[in-house]
Amino acid sequence: MNIIWKIARAELRNLFYSPIAWLVIVSFYVVIAAVFTLSLDVLTRLQDVTLEVRPGWTGFSMGITRLTMSAQCMQVMNLLYLFIPLLTMGIINREISNGTIKLLYSSPVRSVDIVIGKFLALVVLNTVMLLSLLLFFATSWFAVQFPEIKWHLSMLLGLFLLLNTYAAIGIFLSSLTNYQIVAAVLTFAAFFLLSFIGSWWQQYDFFRDISFALTIAGKAENMIMGLITSRDIFYFILLIILFLGFTVIRLKSTQSTISKASLFARYTGLLVVVTLLGYCTSRSGYIGYLDVTKGQNNTITAPMQEVLKELDGSPVEVTLYTNLFGRGVAEGLPQSRNAYLWGFWEKYKRFYPNISFEYVYYYDIKENDSSLFRRYPGKTIEEIKDVFGELLNIRTSIFRAPEEVRQMIDLSQEDLGTVMEVSYKGKKELMRTFGETDIWPHERSVAGTLKRLTRKEDVRVAYVSGNYERNPYGSYNRDYFVHLNDKGNRAAGINAGFDTDTISILNNEIPAGINLLVIADPKSEYSEAEQERITRYLQEGGNAMLLGEPGKQHILNPLIKSLSIYLEQGTVVTPNAHEMPHILSSKVTSRGAAMSDEWAFWHSRKYKTPVEERVKLVGATTLATMDSTSFRIDTILMERSGENIWLKNGKLVVDSAAPVFAAGDLRKDLYVMAISLSRNINGKEQRIVVAGDGDLFSNERFSSNGSGFSFYSWLLYNQYPLYPNRPDDGDNKFTIKNDSAKMIQYILLYTVPVLLLLTSIILLVRRKRK
């Protein structure tokens, strides 16, 4: 061990008495200083200006680490390959060129000692380089509130392992040639190869698996993003061992005559051993994970983890269907499989590893769709398949014919796009992709699919039909298709895990087993039989949502009379210069915010801030209660009194002069637009919501509905949809002003580099004099 340390000290003297090493250190520091201090100056100036305008501002929407520092570390990581070849290009061949390698061989020094000693010297130098980055992190610990110290240390770990891996590669390549420039070029080429091999020839299964195991891309990135995995750590360690081992074999081959076959066997044997170890340490289910971010940014949320716990350990099989002519084909092809497996599924396999994957590639077009044939006139579908295969650089032999796939599964209702079929204990459900940049489903959709597989009964929301109510399958502005049954909308109820259907109760009883009955803005009166069936359903404890509209109060009031509430006559108006008088933004009460974990409501409860979310209503009436009731009644949407708001009676003309308060109109202290009712009956809690506006969930207005799925969530006992909320980043505000940031910038960007430069000059001059 003493010999190793002596070699390391000697190599360090050579490095620190070399102008190249100091050039690398100073250049590396200046690059980091420029990136760090410039963003510090910009963000603190932005914060100062914002605080002048908004004194109550609580900070950036994203943490400082996530906003800038992780991106800065990515930039630094991408520059490392420029510096390391300059340090390693002469570390071995310098000994050969100077003839000192013979002295080492003639002394009781092993090749292993030489290699490890020189590697340790580079480890020390790499540590010195990273101390500059630690200096900037330490500065942020004092300049940012609640800094992500563990995350910063994870970044340092990732860069430290990457630097040392580069060093090990550089040492080996330096031993292959006597020329330092050639060694540097070879090192650059090796770094390039390891960085980009993971993106080449990914359409071939064998090469894709090998290249993913070898590529260095993505390994350090995980640590920079705050996720430390045993797979990545073992990857770097094994790669270091591999190249240091290659160097030892190379040096031994120059000491004595070794046959080419024996030399090949040694290289191959070491490569096989390291590859097997790499395979064993990267198997799903045997990977350790440590998410060091305070908000667990790289981990699925706790509600999603609870959904996975509902699986009992039985195999989950996922079959990905990819249509050559369909949506999402690029993401579904073999070229993108690693991104699919490791980018999308890994976070779920971390908590439930018993997931297997199958792939079905096919080509098909929708029935009566001639657009493809018009684009390629005179070609058959098979010929068009070959054209697409050439464009996408993929073998067309892997794609199955339409007839074959149609016998396996009916995807006509899925627009023939990329879709996953998830199987569990004999049950099968589809999990959809979406026409966005990130096509893969988010936690809400994944949870919805898995809940369908684990629950004993389907969750059914029934919409009463037959009296011109809002249609959950209609595409008109007034209908409810978008938020319930639009398969291309990742937030829709069908993707969140509950099903919607329409029922007619004119001649039929309300079916048993429905979870929620919805009566949405009927335009004609219900018959006595229908009213009796609805009333009986409510009296027996069924959950319901009833939505009315101004001018139709007489239709809904007979149904809700038994609940001791009623819709008042008239329309709430708020004349203003910017919007029609019947359009208003209603305030969500604290009770309304407690109904669900919609992000704005969850955030308000968690951080004890006022509920600022408002719900846009278009033509709403108010509700009132009668004297006695067995229900607990809570106001969930309301607006307070004012000079410019009242309940307008009679016909309201919205596209003419603004209405004025007239005889018959009514001003109130409180305008209640929606209420919730609850009581315990038949051993369960009954929940009902009544609102004076049917446009809350319309296709046109749902996107501006600040309450989102809050009503549905509460009425379904907060089981659907899943809300994967995450806490705010704590490091979202600076504790210093821009003046202090400028002073820090002056010291770190100008003063420290000058001191480093002077130190290097003094050392080099003194060395030369000696």
Q: What pLDDT is stored for residue 105 in this prediction?
A: 65
Q: What is the pLDDT of residue 770?
A: 66
71-93 per-residue burial string, b: 16 or more CB within 10 A, e: under 16: ebbeebbeebbebbbbbbbbbbb
> Which run of H or of E encompasses 407?
helix 402-408
Sign of torsion, CA 740 742 744 747?
Answer: negative
Whole-structure pTM value: 0.91
Arithmetic mean of pLDDT, 131-154: 94
More confident site: 47 or 195: 47
- In the chain, residues under CATH classification 3.40.50.880 are 460-715
Answer whether residue 596 shows pLDDT above 80: yes
The pLDDT confidence band at residue 362, using thresholds 50, 70 and 90, is very high
Higher pLDDT, 20 or 453: 453
Each residue's pLDDT tens digit, 674-709 = 999 999 998 999 999 999 999 999 998 887 666 789
The first and second tokens of residue 413, run together, are: 């209702």
Q: From CA 745, how far away is CA 39, in angstroms rounded?
A: 10
CATH code 3.40.50.880 for 460-715: yes
Tell whether the model's pLDDT for residue 670 goes beyond 90. yes
Give the integer Cα–Cα distance in Å for 537 and 180.
86
3-state secondary structure 341-377: HHHHHHHHHCCCCCEEEEEEEECCCCCCCCHHHHHCC
3-state secondary structure of 332: helix
Report pLDDT digits (tens) over 74-106: 888 888 888 889 888 888 888 777 667 666 666
Please give the pLDDT value at position 179.
87
Quote the radius of gyration of the chain (alpha carbons, Å): 34
Which pLDDT belongs to residue 459? 94
On the question of pLDDT at 251 being above 80, the answer is yes
Tokens read off for 479: 């209908």
Query: DSSP state, 81?
Result: H
Average of per-residue pLDDT values in the chain: 91
pLDDT at site 208: 80
pLDDT at residue 199 above 90? no
Cα-to-chain-centroid distance, residue 217: 19
Q: Which residue has the higher pLDDT, 619 or 104?
A: 619
The tens digit of pLDDT for each residue in 272-284 reads 999 889 888 888 8
Q: Which of 10-24, 110-124, 484-498, 663-677 has the lowest mean pLDDT?
A: 10-24
Q: What pLDDT is attached to residue 297?
A: 94
Mean pLDDT calculated for residue range 629-634: 89
Report the alpha-carbon distance of residue 656 to residue 671 in Å, rounded. 24
Lowest mean pLDDT among 15-29, 437-451, 522-536: 15-29
What CA dihedral angle connects 326, 331, 335 and 338, to 10 degrees? -150
